[in-house]
Amino acid sequence: MIAFVVAAATGTWPYVAAAWAVVFGGMGVYALVTVVRGRRLSKRVPPEKRRWS
Amino acid sequence: MTTETAGPLEASDSGPSSTGSRTTMILGIVTLLALGVLVLFGLILSPADENQGDAVRIMYVHVPSATLSYVGCFMTAIGSAVYLWRKSQWWDLVAYASAEVAALFTAFTLVTGMLWGRPTWGVFWVWDARLTSEAMLMLLLLGYLAVRGLAADYQVRAKRAAIVGLLLVPNVFIVRQSVQWWRTLHQTPTLSLAGAEIQGLMLFSLFTGFVAITLVFVWMVIHRFRVAWLEEQVDAEGLDTAIAERRAEGVAS
Amino acid sequence: MELTPRTGPDSEGGQTSAGSPRRKRRMSLPAMALLVAVVAIGGFVMVKALGSATTFYRNADEAVAQHNSLGVKRFRLQGTVVPGTVVQTGDGVTFEIAYNGVPITVHHVGDPPEMFKENQAVLLEGHFDADGTDTYDSDLMIVKHSEVYKEKQKERLNEAEVNGQMPVTTMRSGS
């Protein structure tokens, strides 16, 4: 376990971790922001105009 | 009146209180599962590369991000073309939603590309034809979004944006062909009609990347489209409630 | 006219004139600033692209052929590291690169990238030495890896690790 952590902190792993974190974090934040915007806007729009098929 | 019909949203027959629907809920669950599989294969099960070591794992998010950003650009161009032709708001909003998601994935492509470049090439960035044209694509997408944000009537904004949207296709084509047309630091495509320069679990990991990121893309475009649609409804509502009421009867489906 | 989708531009033409609530919601100043920034950066990128992207590098054989016109001008050089020529120096590394069988001796100042090794294509930034020989003084080295990926073999893992991290072990101690 310790060896794994040490190995993960050296060489190319920090770059791999950073790249994946940017993509997964970015997707998560964007998804969240979009859903929240949708919920807020939904309150201001009559229901017959937001029936998603 | 709008206030009456929009009233309490708790009732089950009052329409969804978000941009989610049964379809996007299922799609979202499948997407999360696919992302889990991508992590499993991309970071754990797939082997390190002979030359690049573990840095090769960045490819499993970099290449699908780039591919889906191209898809988003094409969707924007198609939406723009149909808007200019038919003045269809539906297609304009498809173009808008796709452009924003494409910009997000282009940003991912640039950032993961830099983080891949440093441990392999030794530098984060060079101004070769591939990287330069990709940077131009990012700027064009930001330009598209900026044009949409300029104060103007809806039709003026949509028309300006559509013209910028059409330019995305030649730019994507230049990005794609840059490694063939010019001398670049960036390597030529690993996957092509001639075959794959990658095998086994590495190829499978790349495949899971394509599947997962495609699902994310579809989920995002659907939700972003619905947000854009709701925005236009809110705008229209303030314009003339009576007209909005009358129109709603003809459109609600 | 912009109330609903699938309606033509024919209806309610007068509704979008001044006073439309849309105008209030759109924040035009940040968008304008973004647009100006995009155009400015775009121009910069275009200049950069036209200046350097199309002739991004010269291969070793071309550089030798153009030696006279290049002089000591700065340019990018590409070639493959010739096996058995890599020698570590006090401030960097000396080696030969070749392209189409034409070699150039490179004096590189600075640490080579981790992926630097024999038979590896590299991209260098620098210029020909002032003494007129086909010797190139480099201060920036970039590894140009291929689009081919291959699984690292488990049984060779340890050896590969040593070689990968310590390219020096494959270098000759003198020439």
pLDDT value of position B178: 86
Where chain A has pLDDT below 50, the residues are: none
* Cβ-based contacts of C125 with chain B (< 8 Å): none
Q: What is the mean pLDDT of residues C110-130?
A: 92
Domain assignment present for B193: yes
Chain B (37-56) residues lying within 8 Å, Cβ to Cβ, of chain C = 47-53, 56
Task: Give the start-to-end residue ranges of the domains of chain C.
Answer: 16-53, 58-170
- Number of A to B CB contacts under 8 A, please give it: 138
C115's tokens: 């992926």
As a whole number of angstroms, the distance between CA B140 and CA B164 comes to 8
* B15 belongs to a structural domain: no
pLDDT in tens, chain B (253 residues): 333 333 333 334 456 778 888 889 999 999 999 999 999 999 999 999 988 999 999 999 999 999 999 999 999 999 999 999 999 999 999 999 999 999 999 999 999 999 999 999 999 999 888 998 899 999 999 999 999 988 778 889 999 999 999 999 989 998 998 888 888 899 999 988 888 888 889 999 999 999 999 999 999 999 999 999 999 888 877 765 655 555 666 655 4
Give the bridge partners for C77, in sequence order: C58, C124
Contact A39, B15 (CB under 8 A): no
Question: Is B95 within 8 Å of chain C by CB?
Answer: no
Q: Do A51 and B216 lie within an 8 Å CB cutoff?
A: no
Q: Which of B159-163, C86-90, C168-172 has the lowest mean pLDDT?
A: C168-172
pLDDT band at C122 (very low <50, low <70, confident <90, very high): very high
B158 touches chain A (CB under 8 A): no
**Which residues of C are less than 8 Å from B184 in CB distance?**
53, 56
**Whole-number pLDDT of residue A14:** 94
- Residues, chain C, total? 175
Per CB-CB distance under 8 Å, the chain B contacts of A43 are 6, 9, 17
**Quick one: CA dihedral C134, C135, C141, C146, positive or negative?**
positive
B250 lies in some domain: no
Residue B119: inside a domain: yes
Instruction: For residue C152, give the amino acid letter.
Output: K
With contact defined as 3+ CB pairs under 8 Å, the chains touching B are A, C
pLDDT value at position C4?
42
Classify residue C50 by its DSSP letter. Answer: I
- Range of the structural domain that residue B193 is part of: 22-46+54-244
| Interchain CB distance below 8 Å, B16 and A46 | no
Quote the pLDDT of residue C10.
39
Q: Nearest-CA distance from A19 to chain B in Å?
A: 5
Is B249 contained in some domain? no
β-bridge mates for residue C87, sequence order: C94, C172
Q: What is the pLDDT of residue B245?
A: 58
Task: Determine the pLDDT at residue C166.
Answer: 42
ipTM score? 0.85
Return the pLDDT at C159.
47
Predicted pLDDT at B8: 37
CB contact under 8 A, C49 and B132: yes
Q: Give the relative orientation of helices B200-239 and B241-251 as an angle to the nearest 10 degrees.
A: 130
CATH fold, domain C58-170, is: OB fold (Dihydrolipoamide Acetyltransferase, E2P) (2.40.50)
Residue B6 resides in a domain: no
Q: Where are the domains of chain A?
A: 2-42
Where does the pLDDT of residue C160 fall: very low under 50, low under 70, confident under 90, or very high at 90 and above? very low
B219 touches chain A (CB under 8 A): yes
Residue B251: Cβ within 10 Å count? 13
| pLDDT of C147 strictly over 50 | yes
Q: Would you say the C-alpha torsion B172, B174, B177, B182 has a positive or negative sign?
A: negative
Token pair listed for C87 = 């020698």
**pLDDT per residue over C59-81, tens digit each?**
999 999 999 998 899 999 999 99
Picking from C56, C119, C139 by the largest number of B CB atoms within 10 A of its own CB, the best residue to mutate is C56
**Domain tally, chain B:** 1
List all residues of chain B from 29 to 48 with a beta carbon under 8 Å from chain A.
35, 39, 42-43
Phi, psi of B191 (to 5 degrees): -105, 125
Closest residue to B154, CB basis, from C16, C54, C164: C16
pLDDT at C18: 39
